[in-house]
Structure 1
Amino acid sequence: MINRWPAAASAVAGGLGAAGLSLAVAGSPWSAYVSESGVPGAPRAWLYSLSLALLALSLALLAVPARRVLSLLGLSLAAAAPLAALSGAVHCSPGCPLPPYETPAPRDLIHAAAAIGALLLCALAILLYSLLPPPSRWTGLLGVVIAYPPLLVSAAGILFAGRSLLTGIAERVSLIAVSAWVIFAALRHCFGPAAGPFALPDLWRRRP
């Protein structure tokens, strides 16, 4: 029961954060970065920041039950939370310029590094889940299937295409997929079978 309350709160915070972020981005050009919706002066910049804070809270709450399954898993989610919050608190400049095709300001680099760091740590958490025995493994495998492809396309778009329709769509799909996975993982901890501690080295221990 001690794991189920943080998991339930994580699912609620994640759902509210994802819905708020979708509303904040709605109406912006598909080729624009999602972060442009948080630039001061944007129509729903306040909603963008609030939504990122809720998603960060969701990650922090999910780390509580995840840590009881695997400490490294909980640590990755706990570390992703403040980075997600930082990406919402530090706004990029208008246009959200990113290298290598644009010249960013220091706050653009801070914002981008925090956002990318949070997503990478979420991707690590997905991978760790996928290495665990069932039923936790299915949570990770779902994340690999729905989140890894758009994350890879988004990263490739930023590196090789810069601001473009491909990059903008891939970024949106990535955020939807990762948010959906966080909510799903939280619900699994809330309503699924209780999982006890699991030692990562046991993954490779020879079975009799």
Structure 2
Amino acid sequence: MAEQARPAPIGVLRSAAASAAAGCTLAGAGAVTLAVVAGPGPGLTGYVSEAGIAGSGHAPAYRIGVYALAAGLLLLAVALPPALRVAAALLTAGGLGTALSGAVTCSAGCPLPPFERATVADLVHGGASIAATAAVIFAMVAITLTHRADRPLRRLSGIAAAVALPLCAAVGLAMLLVGRGTLVGVLERVVLAIAVLWGLAAAATVGFPRR
């Protein structure tokens, strides 16, 4: 009788999920960056989401990129070990929020209160984007505070959280006090870049741990 195939070890499955997470994150970041840079948007004075406004020639690339980033977060959640259940739950929430932000596009200018009049779609899109980013940042914090997590992953997450948290606070204050403009646009892009770089590094750390 032919020997039955043995199921793949859990470690192999996690490594595969981590590799897929890195691939999706890299592809998604590339597609979104292409849409933002090549599109006719307002540059650094606007939001990244403006590249995905309905009718824009680069909206399909932007939306595909956002969905790929969402898949990267969900796959990274799968790749995390059982000790990091809280972080995995936060990354799952971040992935779902990212997917929602891609499914619900904002109107021209992506207006948000208190300085602009926003539609329901604008509020849903903006709320999903903010919640997704917050979930990823809190996942970094959760990993940092989990003592059973591998030291390289804890150190990586601690550094990323230490840089991202004050920047997120600055974005929130700028949106409330200044509104849409260069300051918010630059800060938003820096925060998103940190989240993407952390996602790539975390996937590499989880998928290829040091022996």
Scaled by the length of structure 1, the TM-score of the pair is 0.88
Alignment of 1:14-53 (within 5 A): 14-27=25-38, 28=41, 29-53=43-67
Aligned with 2:44: secondary structure? coil
Equivalents in 1 of 2:57, 2:177: separation in Å?
30
Does structure 2 conserve the Cα–Cα contact (< 8 Å) formed by 1:67 and 1:73?
no
Stretches of structure 2 lacking an aligned partner (at least 5 in a row): 1-11
Shift of 1:137: 1.3
RMSD: 1.4
Equivalents in 2 of 1:83, 1:158: separation in Å?
20
Shift of 1:69: 3.0
Does structure 1 conserve the Cα–Cα contact (< 8 Å) formed by 2:152 and 2:205?
no
Alignment of 1:128-147 (within 5 A): 128-133=142-147, 134-147=151-164
Scaled by the length of structure 2, the TM-score of the pair is 0.87
Shift of 1:67: 4.8
Q: Percentage identity across aligned positions?
A: 34
Aligned with 1:2: secondary structure? helix
Aligned with 1:7: secondary structure? helix
Does structure 2 conserve the Cα–Cα contact (< 8 Å) formed by 1:38 and 1:44?
yes
- Residue 196 of structure 2 aligns to which amino acid in structure 1? S
| Partner deviation per Cα, 1:9-64 (whole Å, 9 max, x = no partner) | 00000001111111111153210111111001223111111010000000000001
Does structure 1 conserve the Cα–Cα contact (< 8 Å) formed by 2:28 and 2:64?
yes
Equivalents in 2 of 1:146, 1:47: separation in Å?
29
Is 1:76 paired with 2:90? yes
Stretches of structure 1 lacking an aligned partner (at least 5 in a row): 195-208
Equivalents in 1 of 2:101, 2:137: separation in Å?
17
Count the aligned residue pairs: 194
2:171 to 148, 154, 162: 154
Q: Bigger radius of gyration, 1 or 2?
A: 2
Equivalents in 2 of 1:102, 1:189: separation in Å?
42
Does structure 2 conserve the Cα–Cα contact (< 8 Å) formed by 1:24 and 1:44?
yes
